[in-house]
């Protein structure tokens, strides 16, 4: 199965961002992709620092409707980051939505690990998700979803793998900084290797972001990688490759949840 990653920098203009996504979705279709992955916060820029509540929309709002049309008109699955309104709150959910090739909402994932690090306080503007995960099926593959900072927490990737994910989709707005680009690559590859899954990571570019979107295979081998500019890249996800790696490296069978639960009880 061929998937594409659309790397771009979101502005404060939602309409312009949607047009960019629509254009990149057409490009992904022309590349033969059946799924296209866009960054975290593809709907509207995190910057400048301000309340995101005025930009928030429900899952049946106009932005998701625009994503639905792009998916339906191009006949491929669209995965992108939005800011979902929270009734009665001045914060929003940092949500990833998945629209099938028929334009129907397959599901959503609300980011659970908020980026309160490196001088940033995402929790001041974002409501954390409850912990509900999202794994969906397409063709002969199962895809799990997480968001940006989540990649630093192996528990979530492991949970998605335990739920059957053959590949993990990681929309991100990876803030640039000292050693951050190196950490991005190490973490993306590590989560793929330790869970014997493909990992597709689509990042934002522009001022403050690292780019370097990439698709890596279950052995951590780079299948496709972007640079620092806006672009669409594509690569193949092969279920036979997943199975072959898991035969020679059956690490998921060696997981010890019984021991980990005991450790967690002792830690309390």
So which residues are the catalytic ones? 40, 111, 148
What letter does residue 209 receive in the DSSP assignment?
B
- In a 10 Å sphere around its CB, with 0-12 CB exposed, 13-18 middle and 19+ buried, how is residue 66 labelled? buried
CA distance 123 to 99: 27
CA distance 235 to 238: 10
Measuring CA to CA, how many Å separate 194 from each of 104, 164, 189, 191, 264?
A: 33, 14, 9, 5, 21
Tokens of 150: 């989540």
């Amino acid at each position: 199965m061929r998937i594409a990653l659309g790397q771009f920098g979101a502005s404060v203009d939602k309409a312009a961002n949607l047009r960019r996504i629509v254009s990149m979705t057409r490009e992904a279709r022309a590349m033969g992709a059946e799924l296209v992955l866009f960054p975290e916060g593809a709907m509207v820029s995190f910057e400048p620092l301000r309340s995101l509540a005025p930009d928030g929309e429900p899952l049946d709002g106009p932005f998701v409707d625009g994503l639905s049309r792009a998916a339906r008109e191009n006949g491929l699955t669209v995965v992108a980051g939005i800011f979902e309104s929270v009734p009665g709150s001045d914060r929003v959910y940092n949500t990833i939505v998945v629209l099938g090739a028929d334009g129907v909402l397959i599901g959503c994932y609300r980011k659970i690990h908020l980026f309160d690090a490196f001088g940033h306080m995402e929790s001041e503007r974002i409501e954390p998700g409850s912990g509900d995960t999202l794994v969906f099926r397409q063709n002969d593959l199962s895809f799990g979803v997480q968001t940006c900072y989540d990649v630093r927490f192996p528990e979530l990737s492991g949970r998605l793998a335990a739920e059957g994910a053959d590949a993990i989709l990681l929309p991100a707005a990876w803030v640039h900084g000292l050693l951050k680009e190196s950490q991005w690559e190490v973490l993306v590859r590590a989560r793929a290797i330790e869970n014997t899954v493909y990992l597709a990571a689509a990042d934002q570019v522009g001022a403050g972001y690292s780019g370097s979107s990439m698709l890596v295979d279950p052995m951590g081998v780079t299948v496709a990688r972007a640079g620092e500019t806006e672009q669409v890249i594509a690569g193949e996800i092969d279920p036979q490759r997943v199975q072959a790696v898991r035969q020679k490296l059956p690490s998921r069978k060696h997981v010890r949840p019984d021991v980990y639960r005991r450790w967690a009880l002792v830690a309390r």
